[in-house]
């Protein structure tokens, strides 16, 4: 497959996404960025690649009854010493929206129903011992199914599996929104799911949300300064 010259591009940034037709089926191919030299050695000898982890985690999610676009394959290109390109291939899923739209448009039909259903979905992940480390706005696809909604995880290469304590479970919501009103709804629904006190959940969830935003923007400011210093030193 000539990834660079054919296919329909749907994302072209650090990692690239393209759609291809294969035997009458639309497939989604994710091309991971070539890692730095140190990680090229690490991925070649000591650690599974992001593509391999995505494939294996997708199969594990499906075994656990969690939605994700059906995995097809992963491909890796290596030299004897260094790891180079890798690709993860899955079926292209026809979906209606992502969680990200919920953070931008509060007028979406069934808004409250969807947000509460998403919270119950996250609770199901936690009950099944799935710690999705990239639980962020663009990584949950939402598909309307009659009067209900189904959820599908994407960008799967960072996950842990095992029992999760209360703090870890609540902290898992911290990257999802900047809006206090959404945190209030998710805290309320998560309290109903777990039987835990709403105020305890909300206070921790909002604190972790604020802390994440502070770290995010601090990192962004640092990158901007470094870019400025590099441009002025040339």
Tell me: the pLDDT tens digits for 150-163? 999 999 999 999 99
Query: What is the average pLDDT score of the chain?
Result: 91
- Each residue of 45-80: pLDDT tens digit? 999 999 999 999 999 999 999 999 999 999 999 999
For residues 167 and 180, is the Cβ–Cβ distance under 8 A?
Answer: no
Which residue range(s) make up the domain with 39?
A: 8-91
The whole model's pTM is what? 0.88
Pair 35, 72 in one domain? yes
With the CA atoms of 53, 54, 55 and 59 taken in that order, what torsion angle do they form, in degrees rounded to the nearest 10? 100
What pLDDT was estimated at residue 3?
72
Q: Give the span between the Cα atoms of 29 and 74, in whole angstroms.
A: 9
What pLDDT was estimated at residue 12?
67
Pair 53, 110 in one domain? no
Last residue of one domain, picked from the residues 42, 61, 91: 91
- Each residue of 106-138: pLDDT tens digit? 999 999 999 999 999 999 999 999 999 999 999
Pair 101, 70 in one domain? no
The answer to whether position 225 is within a domain reads: no
Give the chain's domain count: 2
Confidence of residue 224 (pLDDT cuts 50, 70, 90): low
Sequence-distant (≥ 6) Cβ neighbours of residue 69 within 8 angstroms: 28, 58, 90, 91, 92, 93, 141, 152, 154
Residue 76 maps to which CATH number?
3.30.200
Statement: residue 32 has pLDDT above 60: yes
């Amino acid at each position: 497959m000539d990834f660079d010259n054919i296919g329909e591009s749907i994302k072209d940034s650090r990692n690239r996404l393209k759609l291809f037709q294969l035997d009458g089926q639309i497939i989604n191919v994710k091309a991971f960025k070539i890692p730095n030299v140190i990680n090229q050695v690490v991925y070649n000898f000591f650690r599974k690649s992001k593509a391999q982890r995505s494939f294996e985690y997708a199969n594990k999610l499906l075994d656990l009854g969690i939605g994700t676009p059906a995995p097809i394959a992963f491909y890796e290109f290596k030299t004897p010493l260094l790891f180079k390109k890798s690709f993860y291939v899955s079926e292209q899923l026809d979906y209606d929206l992502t969680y990200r739209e919920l953070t931008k448009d509060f007028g979406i039909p069934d808004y409250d129903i969807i947000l509460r259903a998403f919270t119950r979905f996250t609770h199901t992940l936690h009950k099944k011992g799935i710690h999705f480390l990239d639980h962020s706005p663009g990584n949950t696809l939402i598909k309307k199914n009659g009067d209900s909604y189904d959820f599908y995880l994407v960008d799967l290469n960072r996950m842990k599996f095992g029992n999760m304590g209360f703090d870890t479970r609540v902290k898992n919501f911290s990257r999802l929104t900047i809006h206090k009103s959404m945190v209030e709804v998710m805290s309320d629904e998560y309290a109903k799911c777990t039987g835990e006190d709403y105020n305890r959940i909300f206070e921790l969830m909002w604190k972790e949300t604020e802390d994440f935003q502070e770290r995010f923007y601090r990192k962004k400011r640092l990158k901007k300064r470094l870019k400025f210093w590099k441009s002025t030193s040339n």
